[in-house]
Amino acid sequence: MISSARKRVAVIGGGISGLAAAHRVHELDPEIELTLYEAQPQLGGVVQTARRDGFLWEWGPDNFITQLPWGLQLCRRIGLEPELLPTDDQHRQAFVVRRGRLRKIPQGFVIMAPSRIWPVIATPILSPWGKLRMACEFFLPGQKAEHDESLASFVIRRFGRETYDRLVQPLVGGIYTGDPHQLSVRMTMPRFVEMERSHGSLIRAIWSRRSARSPATTGTSGARYSLFVAPREGMSSLTGALAGRLPAGTVHTGAPVVQIAPRPPHGWTVTLGGSPSKTHSVDAVVVAIPGPAASRLLADVDPVCSQRLGEIHYASCSITSLAYRREQIAHRLDGFGFVVPLREKRSILSGSFASVKYAGRAPDGEVLLRAFIGGACQPELAELPEDELIATAHREFADLLGIRGEPRQVQVSRHPQTMAQYYVGHQQRVEQIEARLARYPGLFMAGNAFEGVGIPQCIHRGERTAEQVVAGLRDDSPASPVSGESICRT
């Protein structure tokens, strides 16, 4: 029990961040009266799954990474671990487009640095000069300056323009749908910044860590798991399991929150839209919605905080899923998918072989592919009409994979202003937001606007925020916001 008076907490937003926060609050203290408000008719945000005609269709992400432990840990706690599927090791490789053909990404190439020499020497993706320039990184001194730097500047400085254009840019585009000339390397790839600081060279750092790792400790997730995993029945299994563990009456869908306001002497009021509007009093509020929506919600609470939230850029993306008979496709599909460099001047960011990665995504003899279109560098493509998105995805797949005939089934999902872009200076912006929040006891924020766009990072922020909420309520005093220093780094 927290105190004789039952405490009340409102979570605004029913995506993975809000669900993780709400679940953690209830997990830590079931006596808290918890309410979750979601504006849309369904929970999950971008995480939506449907099974139709033997295919498993994902509207958004279709897996999560295991190197960051928070997603896996949560699945264990909620009983979802037995349902997690590893990727098929037989096809554990990916491709990059080079002059209109799919080429294998060199084995051991870790986003922006090689851990093995021979695959890089043998790859046709880079010219001899590009390979030589990459190798020179081993001898370049590290930069000790503390100023933020764009991801593109960092990679070009360390490895040269060709490695950036042909490998790093498309890989980063596949992760963030972003422009590396704008993205902060410190916020998107902090471990590489630390490698340069500690070892001078990224290649030296990777080789040093690889040689120091014993077979027993290789792979932070253990031998049971691959780098990525997915629930057997899709990502909605995760959000559904979280919602199912909340007390009856906690979740309110189709319930947009239009205003929050401090309630003297402490606490908050939450006002729902509708006619008539409804206002509820709570002891703490967790705002777990995208930056633009959070900016509007906080405009009357703190205009400066609202402005800083509004300065966080978001990119749009559309995902077009296409189903084919296997015999329609000439390519061996001996990988998980491919990424496309901007310099190839194509209308697709990346392609995923969804039914190759995980079992049960398509009936026997069928293949399910997913095309990612748009992003920060091609925003106009994400807004194409649905028939043009389908035609674009089919045209690109047909050309790159040797597909004959039309797709048998299609599915288009749009994600406008969904993917947070951590531009240079993002860390300072987050710290300013946290400093403003510190003025308002009981007000907290979660979501992908702050410290990571992936499923595990969103879970982590949501759960840590919940832990701070409960700790404050257990003190029988107004809850204190998560400090910027403790929360804005992963």
CATH 3.50.50.60 fits 8-44+235-312+424-487, yes or no: yes
Q: Which residue type sits at 160? A: G
Q: How far apart are CA 144 and CA 456, in angstroms?
A: 30
Do residues 9 and 34 touch, judged by C-beta distance below 8 A?
yes
pLDDT per residue rounded down to tens, the chain (490 residues) = 344 578 999 999 999 999 999 999 999 999 999 999 999 999 999 999 999 999 999 999 999 999 999 999 999 999 999 999 998 878 889 999 999 999 999 988 877 777 788 888 899 999 999 999 999 999 999 887 778 999 999 999 999 999 999 999 999 988 899 999 999 999 999 999 999 999 999 999 988 877 665 443 343 333 345 789 999 999 999 999 999 999 999 999 999 999 999 998 889 999 999 878 899 999 999 999 999 999 999 999 999 999 999 999 999 999 999 999 999 999 999 999 999 999 999 999 999 999 999 999 999 999 999 999 999 999 999 999 999 999 999 999 999 999 999 999 999 999 999 999 999 999 999 999 999 999 999 999 999 999 899 999 999 999 999 999 999 888 755 444 443 333 332 2
CATH number of this structure's domain 106-212: 1.10.3110.10
Domain ranges of the chain: 8-44+235-312+424-487, 49-67+84-90+314-421, 106-212
Name the CA radius of gyration of the chain, rounded: 23
Please tell me the pTM assigned to this model: 0.92
Q: How far apart are CA 348 and CA 134, in angstroms?
A: 27
Q: How far apart are CA 233 and CA 409, in angstroms?
A: 19
Fold of 49-67+84-90+314-421: Polyamine Oxidase; Chain A, domain 2 (3.90.660)
